[in-house]
Each structure stands twice: as structure tokens, then as C-alpha cells.
Chain A
Amino acid sequence: MNFHDRHLLRLRVNGEDHSLSDLDPRVTLLDLLRERLHLTGTKKGCNFGECGACTVHLDGRRVNACMILAVSCEGREVTTIEGLGNGDALHPVQQAFIDHDGFQCGFCTPGQVMSAAALIEEGHTGSDAEIREWMSGNLCRCSAYPQIVEAVRAAAGRVSQ
């Protein structure tokens, strides 16, 4: 087994291939995205897995970027809030958050949107209670929860049409 203290990391972020050299294995995926790739849409709330502000998609599944060592993402595909829409066109979940006032300060919003987009794919939109339960990994200190549920419900309808 080959242990190293500096690594070459190849991964695809928002459809673009990256090859990053000299990576310290202590760097998290969250810090890599923000500090090295300058994709600051993904937020650092708690850095302990507790708030969901750092939610991104890893090979299509929603995960907390603060709980992942970047080096472990070799060969994998990451989608961040910057890559969710299609060019300038907003993703239906982003549009629904605007339409339904799903935020105040907006700090938790990128994580909420990434989580909601995945939740709709997972099919956990059967009822408001189900949406709330499966959105529970994303905290909102402004407490926009009722509007967030409305936005997710609306987006789910639009995506499935």
C-alpha cells in the first residue's frame, strides 16, 4: 500500500475535469472547492456535519462536503450549486425557492437547493411530512422552513411533469 503526504487528485467538478497536484490529504472536499477551485457557492456552516450548508452531489448523491477528505474523491464527479442549473437557466428547484420565498439571509440556501434537488430524484416527496423529514439535514437559522417545504413541493411537481 502506497502512503503519501502529498497527492495528485483528478476529479470532475460541474462537468469540468481537474487535475490538482500537491494536495495535502487533510484538505476536505469543502475546502478544496472553496479555496482551490474558488467555487464559494458551497458554504461552510459548522464544519462538523451538523448543518448541511456544505451539501453537494458526489456521483449524483447528496453528501456533506465538510465530512469528506478531498483526496478520497479520486476519479469521482462532483456537482455544486454553481453547476446545478443549465448555463444561465436556473434549475427548477432554484426557481421554486425564488417563487416561494424559500430564504431570508440565503446562507443555507445553496445546501438546501442541492439537498432538495437530490430529494426529488430520490422520490421522497410523497407528503409535506416526508419532505420535512428528508430535508432535515439542512438547518436554516432564519427558519424559512415552511417556505422551503412549499418550494420543494412545487419543484417536485414541475420536475416530474
Chain B
Amino acid sequence: MTPFVYARADSLGDTIAAGAAPDSAFLAGGTELLNWLRLGIAEPTRIIDISRLDGLDQIEALPGGGLTIGAVTHLNDVAQHALVMRDYPVLSQAILHAASPQLRNLATIGGNLLQKTRCAYFRAEEQLPCNKRQLGSGCSALHGINDNHAIFGWTKDCVATQPSDPAVALAALDAVVVTAHRSGGRRIPAAEFHLLPDTRPEADNVLQQGELITAIELPAAAPRSAYLKVRERESYEYAIVSAAAVLEMDGQTIRRAAVALGSVALRPWRLSTAEEQLAGTELGDREALSTAIEQSFAEARPLSQNAYKIELAKTAALRAIERAARMPS
């Protein structure tokens, strides 16, 4: 680990001022950052501990409906909050399927969105060709081990996936990432927070140096929502594919559906084309549901070892929709 200096943040103003200096990094739960420091993925010289910043660990109902979740709220506290469990089961389920109970007591909801790909070449202890580690060095996975890599939105520069579970739920919920920065804050739609590798393969998301996530905002309650995670072992494992579904129903007919897939691209993948066709579909009509989902897979492109993920993802989407429909509203 390269040496760094450390300070505990005490005010929001100081935090975003200090964070703007190059080579500074925020520390929240540390469950990603510490591994990056060990592997040399990040080498900050100044660490700003935001984990005890006042006011960033609250969950509150918003006046016009919806919920705001402070960025340093621990994952377990988000998932087990009464309002999240009742009104946003998709988010609660996604979190409880992530990492381990101990890690979720440390990891924060803001930090979770900033985790990097689990691509083994990227995380290797010896440096291997990887454009995310060193731009221009190539992509070892493109013709290498890519059985768990992307089926959507990849380029020859990077075929990795974003592994976050909560991000998939937030994308389906049309959540908003609220930030603060020395030059002013922003509101970023969760589905547009992560970047595909087409323009800057080395970048993971839209944040600038020193931009602090202060909160995640959820829109109106989504009680008919569910998360499904398919993985090699039943617990404490990253997804092969996952699916988040959020439904509004008229009796047994879908009025509106939002579906996002996880671990299939470098960002949660909304099935927009399918969503349009799902509106007006009868829940009991499995064939119609499958046909609708199929529409969004026209743009799927398998790599040499991961064609199986296409079928898996379609099935996961279908099952997530059916699971969401069974949630009490």
C-alpha cells in the first residue's frame, strides 16, 4: 500500500473542498477502497473519511412521496428499514442478496454504486493487459476467460460488467443519485450513472473528482417489485445475471413495467423496448411476456464463452416480473 494521509471529515463544505484536490479519495465503508489500495487499483495520497459525516446516514420520507436515503447509510440499515421493506421490496431484496451480513454492516449505499468490475484480469495481483487498469494496454478478457462477462453494450476495449446488486434495483426504480461538488451539485438518474466503455473505457461512472454522493432519492412507492439473483452458489456470491422488476397493475393486466438486468453490461441494463410492449399484457400470458422480453434481446451480443447468459437473462427477467406481480400491494 502506498503511503497516504488521513483525515476525518466534519462538515460537508470542508469535505467537498478537500475532495477536489487530485489524488484525494473518500472513505465510506472501505469494503472496496481497501482492496483497491492493496491491489494498486487506486493509489490516493489523501483519504477523507466521510463515514461519520452528520446528516448523511438518515432515511426519510419526502414531502411529495418518495424516500431519501443518506449516502453513508449502511446497506443492512437500508434493507431492513421499515419503509424500504414495505414500499421498495426490490431494493431491500437486492441488498440482502449482496455481499455478506458483516460486509453490509460496513458497506454504504453510496459506496456500493462506486464499486468496480470483478473481472479477474482487472483484479489480478500482477498487472495484465486491461484497459481499465491501464488505458491502451488492451483487454485480456475479449479473447480470454469471459464466461461471466457482458452480453450488452461492450466494445473491444472492455467487455466487463458492473457487479452491484442495489444499482440494478435503483435503475428499475428510476432512482436519482444526488451529489454535491465544489462547482455545485447534480441530480443523476440512477440508470445513467454508470458508463459504457464506448467513449472512455477507463471511466466507470459520471462522477468528477471530489464529487460527493449525498443521497439516493426514490420516487413514489413501488410495492409490487422484486429482485432475482442467479449465481453459482446460493449465497455470498456475485451474480451471473440478476433482474429487478417494478410493476403497476390493473387487476391482472400490467399497466406499467420497469425491468433492469444486472451483471450483463457495465451498467444496469433497462429493457426499454420490452417495457413498452409489456404495458397492457396479461400476467397469466407467459408467452406474451416472453415475446415482449425477447424484443430487448435483439441487441444482445455474446462473447466467446458466455452465450448461455442470454437465455439465463431472459428467464431471469420473466421470473422477476412474475415474482413482482405476487408481491402484496
Residues of A whose CB lies within 8 Å of any CB of B are 1-5, 7, 24-26, 28, 47-49, 52, 55, 58, 61-64, 66-69, 71-72, 74, 115, 118-119, 122, 124, 132-134, 136-138
Contact = CB atoms under 8 A, between A and B. Distances in A.
Contact of B103 (A1, A4, A64, A124): A64
Given A3-B46, A134-B101, A69 B34 contact: yes
B48 A68 contact: no
B6 A68 contact: no
B224 to A, nearest CB: 24
Top 5 nearest A-B pairs (CB, nearest first) are A137-B100, A25-B6, A136-B235, A3-B5, A136-B236
A61 B30 contact: no
A116 B105 CA distance: 15
Interface in B29-68: 29-31, 34-35, 37-38, 46-49, 51
A72 B8 contact: yes
Of A28, A47, A63, A115, which is in contact with the most chain B CB atoms at under 10 Å from its CB?
A: A63
A4 B49 CA distance: 12
Given A47-B38, A72-B30, A63 B105 contact: yes
Contacts of A132: 235
A124 B9 CA distance: 34
Contacts of B124: none
Q: Interface of chain A, helix or strand or loop or mixed?
A: mixed
B51 A72 contact: yes
Contacts of B85: none
Given A62-B105, A67-B106, A119-B101, A25 B5 contact: yes
Contacts of A122: 101
Contacts, number: 101
Of B7, B9, B37, B101, which is in contact with the most chain A CB atoms at under 10 Å from its CB?
A: B101
A72 B27 contact: yes
A48 B38 contact: yes
A62 B7 contact: no
Nearest to B24: A3
A27 to B, nearest CB: 10
Interface string B92-115: 000000011111011000000000
B105 A4 contact: no
A63 B236 contact: no
Contact of A52 (B10, B17, B34, B100): B100
16 contacts: A3-B7, A5-B5, A48-B38, A49-B99, A63-B106, A64-B102, A64-B106, A67-B29, A68-B34, A69-B6, A69-B47, A72-B27, A74-B8, A136-B236, A137-B102, A137-B103
A78 B7 CA distance: 21
Given A68-B34, A69-B6, 6 more contacts: A1-B7, A1-B17, A2-B7, A4-B6, A69-B49, A72-B6
B18 interface: yes
Q: Interface of chain B, helix or strand or loop or mixed?
A: mixed
Given A49-B103, A115-B102, A137-B101, A67 B8 contact: no
Given A115-B101, A115-B102, A137-B103, A26 B7 contact: no
Nearest to B77: A61
Nearest to B76: A61
A16 to B, nearest CB: 23
A126 to B, nearest CB: 14
Contacts of B103: 49, 64, 67, 137
A26 B1 contact: yes
Interface string B1-24: 101111111100011011000000
A58 to B, nearest CB: 8
B30 A68 contact: yes
A133 B102 contact: no
B248 to A, nearest CB: 30
A4 B4 CA distance: 8
B75 to A, nearest CB: 12
Nearest to A5: B5
A24 B15 CA distance: 22
B3 A63 contact: no
Contacts of B18: 1
